[in-house]
């Protein structure tokens, strides 16, 4: 029990100390995790768990949409993609359709991987800028 509490405290602290970029990556990882859980639950015919996992994924997508800065063109395009993903998950939950969850999972993984790559590129550029400034 104490080990679980320590792990929960560690997870909570990692969220509080993460940069905005790291928090976004955590959300993408959570989105992928819940979609994979939904797939497994649908395969196991566990409708209640599938429903809960899909709703958690929808909540993350809603959070992404709320945090978009619409003064950038890319935000409008991401909003359209997030809206599509959200609506597809509504369909998946109504129809209990794993193929739809798989489709959204593909988008989620691609977005996550792209974000992770962008973070690496930004970190490299920042370290080069810091070296030049010395």
**For 41-50, what is each residue's pLDDT tens digit?**
999 999 999 9
pLDDT of 37: 98
Its pTM stands at 0.85
> For residue 2, what pLDDT is reported?
64
DSSP letters for the chain: -HHHHHHHHHHHHHHHH--HHHHHHHHHHHHHHHHHHHHHHHHTT-HHHHHHHHHHHHHHHHHHHHT--TTSHHHHHHHHHHHHHHHHHHHHHHHT-HHHHHHHHHHHHHHHHHHHHHHHHHHHHHHHHHHHH-
Residues in the chain: 134
> Please, what are the domains in the chain?
21-133 (1.20.120.340)
């Amino acid at each position: 029990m104490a080990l679980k509490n320590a792990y929960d405290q560690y997870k909570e602290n990692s969220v509080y100390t993460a940069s905005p970029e790291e928090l976004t990556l955590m959300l993408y990882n959570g989105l992928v995790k819940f979609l994979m859980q939904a797939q497994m639950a649908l395969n196991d015919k566990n409708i209640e768990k599938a429903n809960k996992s899909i709703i958690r994924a929808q909540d993350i997508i809603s959070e992404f949409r709320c945090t978009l800065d619409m003064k950038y063109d890319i935000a409008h395009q991401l909003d359209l993609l997030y809206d599509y993903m959200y609506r597809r998950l509504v369909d998946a939950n109504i129809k209990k359709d794993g193929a739809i969850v798989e489709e959204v999972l593909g988008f989620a993984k691609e977005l996550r991987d792209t974000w992770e790559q962008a973070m690496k590129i930004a970190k490299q550029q920042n370290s080069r800028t810091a070296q030049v400034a010395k």
